[in-house]
Amino acid sequence: MRKPAWTRCSILSLVFLAVLLCSSRLAPGQQTETDIVIGKRIVLPSKVLNREMAISLYLPADYETSGVKYPVLYDLNAFAYFTYGVGTVELFSRNVEMPEMIVVGLPNLQDGYVPTPYEERGPEPKAADLSLKFFKEELIPFIDGKYRTSGFNILSGHSVAGLFTVYALFTRPNLFSAGIASSPWFQANNQYWLKQIDKMLQAESLANMYLFMTVGKKEQDLTISTYTELEKWMKAKDLKGLTWKSEWLENVDHSSMLGRSLYEGLLFIFDGWKIPFDVVISGNVSAIEEHADKMRAKFGGRVEYNIPEYLLNQVGYQLISRKSYDQAISLFTLNVKLHPNSPNTYDSLAEAYLTKGDKETAKKYYELAIQKNPGQTESEKRILQNSKDKLKELNPQK
């Protein structure tokens, strides 16, 4: 069914059908189906490009309840593998390798990737410059205006879209904070942009920006030789503070390397994001907060560092199982501080005090867990019942 337009944008759900295994309520052999929704399709009319742009959009699972501002991945190849990009982002964010992100998938920009040669330019932007105008004047303002974004934008593209990614960072550094250029097609127009790359580098500063480039070792000779020259130029040039890396990917050619580039590129950009397990299991709150501050500083405050509730909760219970009660209490207390609206953080802290033998403090936090719990979802209902049962055991006279 067509939903009300957002500034004339229509939304179509992107869904995948999943067949669920039988539950206890179903008869033997009976099955049921439900939809796994990974995103939305937004049709955005573009005056700049003079056509409708079918944008694929993914929001983190907790977007509606978190209040967090998110980085945005603008994926130029999403028309071919949107599900892979979303899956990679979900995998890394759940493993705390990187923050959760909004993913914006672009349709095929057709002839909008390769920049127009300088000698052929007129008063109006064409090709890649027209696409960048679309990003600047329409797409990014739309996403920033409609969703909670942090201001840290990543552009990812392959082949001619990889060339576009490098061109965007070198000429419009205010639009994107990082780029993943998979096998950038600098051999376009008889290697015109390889020959003109000094002129392409227009940015006054690329400090606090990231570029990850790749090439497949099984690619064609021209691609490899062009990339080799590009890499030599990058190594010899003052790139104005840019943090960059070039990686030669084993056992892949031009088409099969696409997913690897995004995978490795995200790990490069967010290198060091994950808190070392030894730091978390120590229960040293100061060390944990120091790591978070270090990551915030690395990204200049453009990316929020949020320590996941589930991570501190899981490690806290590991500490309880080891009878390291004081360290567990430290982690659970930090969890309450970071996630004050979650009833589970109070319930876990209460359990830690109860296991340690401090019944009075346990009562206090079980009471807070009950107060904070709306009891709406199945998880909340389960936690609420646990909190009530524990409090009743501690107050048998009531």
Domains and CATH numbers, the chain: 40-269 (3.40.50.1820), 277-394 (1.25.40.10)
pLDDT value at residue 27: 58
Contact 299, 69 (CB under 8 A): no
Q: Is the pLDDT of residue 20 over 60?
A: no
Give the end-to-end CA distance of the chain in Å, rounded to a whole number.
53
Query: Around Cβ 354, how many Cβ atoms within 10 Å?
Result: 18
375 sits in the region (left: phi over 0; alpha: psi -120 to 50; else beta) called left
Which residue, among 308, 392, 393, has the nearest Cα to 344 in the 3D structure? 308
- pLDDT, tens digit, 9 for 90 and up, residues 111-166: 999 999 999 999 999 999 999 999 999 999 999 999 999 999 999 999 999 999 99
Contact 249, 217 (CB under 8 A): yes
Lowest mean pLDDT among 16-20, 213-217, 270-274: 16-20
Contact 96, 275 (CB under 8 A): yes
pLDDT value at residue 32: 86
Contact 84, 91 (CB under 8 A): no
* H runs (alpha helix) in the chain: 63-66, 78-94, 127-134, 140-146, 160-171, 188-195, 197-200, 221-236, 258-269, 277-281, 285-298, 309-321, 325-338, 343-356, 359-372, 378-394
- pLDDT over 90 for what percent of the chain? 85
- pLDDT, tens digit, 9 for 90 and up, residues 295-322: 999 999 899 998 889 999 999 999 999 9
Q: Is the pLDDT of residue 11 over 50?
A: no
- pLDDT, tens digit, 9 for 90 and up, residues 54-99: 999 999 998 998 889 999 999 999 999 999 999 999 999 999 999 9
The whole-number average pLDDT for the span 30-39 is 88
Contact 121, 41 (CB under 8 A): no
Query: Around Cβ 173, how many Cβ atoms within 10 Å?
Result: 19
- Which of the four pLDDT bands, split at 50, 70 and 90, describes residue 30? confident
- pLDDT over 70 for what percent of the chain? 92
- pLDDT, tens digit, 9 for 90 and up, residues 255-275: 999 999 999 999 999 999 999
Q: Are strands 32-46 and 70-75 parallel, antiparallel or unpaired?
A: unpaired
Looking at the DSSP bridge assignments, the partners of residue 248 are: 215
DSSP for 45-67 reads EETTTTEEEEEEEE--TTHHHH-
Which tokens in the block code for residue 300?
């200049």
Close Cβ partners of 235 (under 8 Å, ≥ 6 residues apart)? none
Which residue, among 304, 278, 281, has the nearest Cα to 292 in the 3D structure? 304
pLDDT value at residue 26: 52
Query: Around Cβ 204, how many Cβ atoms within 10 Å?
Result: 7
Q: Is 332 exposed, middle or buried (0-12, 13-18, 19+ CB in 10 A)?
A: buried
- Whole-model pTM: value is 0.87
Q: What are the φ/ψ torsions at residue 342 (nearest 5 degrees)?
A: -95, 115
Cα 38 to Cα 9, 14, 97, 148, 170: the distances in Å are 19, 6, 20, 18, 33
CA angle 224, 227, 228 (to 5 degrees): 85
258-297 burial code (b ≥16 CB/10 A, e <16): bbbbbbbbbbbbbeebbbeeeebbbbeeeebeebbeebee
CA distance 209 to 237: 16
